[in-house]
Structure 1
Amino acid sequence: MLVNSIPKPNFLLSKLIDLKDFNYSSLFFSQLPHPNDYAFNVMIRGLTTSWQKYNLSLEFYYRMKALGLKSNNFTYPFVFISCGCLLMVDHGRLAHSMVFRSGLGLDCHVRHSLITMYARCGELGCARKVFDDITDRDLVSWNSMISGYSKMGFAREAVELFGRMRGEGLEANEMGLVTVLGACGSLGDLGLGRWIEEFVLDSKMEVNSFIGSALINMYGKCGDLLSARRVFDGMVNKPVVAWNAMITG
């Protein structure tokens, strides 16, 4: 492309990042004379998802703002993910205020990442406020809030919110079921845990390594080792986490 003078730097940068070559991508970006918002967004996404270099992701975000480039709904979700992973809630709040100023508060990806960021930083009140302000909640919105409660040790709130979600007619997916099973184990809620297993079987969902391990862990914490062993023996491919859950139980 260089030899034949094909000027498509943004296209090439995105493909280099897809190849997960950090050094080459960084070098290529540094050679761009005037990187635009697309180039910055691509780098921020790569730094957050491909390389988990969260500090550098935030550095690129602030460089982008210093150049007067406009952040958008392709920028903020990855900025919030980085803030959450670094537990930098102050930077997250500052970016949150910019979301409101730019009118991006209704974007679903921005809202989901906001909930996750606040929850990871222990600001469950802020996460819940973002969640409650969503009028058209989808499954990702519910899962983000339920997961936030569960990971921060608020198992009862996670189970209660799961009940509300079911009451509004939404069917849980694999991610939501695994999260709630963890909360059931923490609470010793064997009844709900058994209901989830029945739901999985009735829905003809695959009892894969994630759901199977979560069920074993839940039954083990609730003291029902016969059910835990039954699930364990029924798994065709047993990952290490399933063995560990069974041994621990």
Structure 2
Amino acid sequence: MKALNWIQSRQKWVYFTLVALVGALAIYLSIPFSAQFQYDYRLGQVWLEDDLYAPTDVVLPKSVDDLETDRSLLIENKDLLYDYHFRKEVWEEQSILDTLSIDQYKIWQESGVIESLPSANHRLFLYDGTLLDFTSSFTPNSIQAKHGLEEGVVILPTYTLNTALTDSALQFKLQALTLNKGILTSGTPVVLRGATITTEKFEMLKALERSFDASANELNWSARVGAVLYILLMFFALAVYLHVHYP
């Protein structure tokens, strides 16, 4: 009975609470929070909409194929780092050449002997970062051919590839590889009416759509939080009004 009497004495507030909950839910559900990119497009299609310009700065991400191509190019053209060795005394001890040709050892040492000459697409460095040039260097095979040496003669190179440093430098470049092609600045024409959607324009449209969806999602949550606070504030003000004027 006490509970029933308490409910009857608070009947106005019970009704108000129920109406407030139903009203708040109805208002919340009626607010359109989501938005969608309003254009339908496909590769090779003629753009029949109005001229489209980038409303804000939009990042143009690279495709998976573009990233793989960039990675392959870095690997194919990676910097090569070498260690240097003084071999002149070793060659003299080996008596590779006769005594009349021992001056060649000095030439080999100064010009450099490398196991195989790298292609021109690589940059060549000493282990400390000094730039190298192997255009006048020799290979063991070229020395053997020039001096008519036997195949079993071992000619130690003065430069050997430092694989650890080479791999480390490559990994640094791979990690620093940018994931974006660039930025589509605000006001830049994306596609004009009557133009054909090429691969480049298609990628620009996709980037614009992704940017729009990300912004819409962020604004969606902000709008929901704002709507809840607004509804609570509205009904709180109404409750205060009823309490003051209709106690």
After TM superposition, the score normalised by the length of structure 1 is: 0.20
- Greater RCO (CA < 8 Å, at least 6 residues apart): 2
Rg bigger for which structure?
2
After TM superposition, the score normalised by the length of structure 2 is: 0.20
Q: Which has the higher helix share?
A: 1
Q: Which has the higher strand share?
A: 2
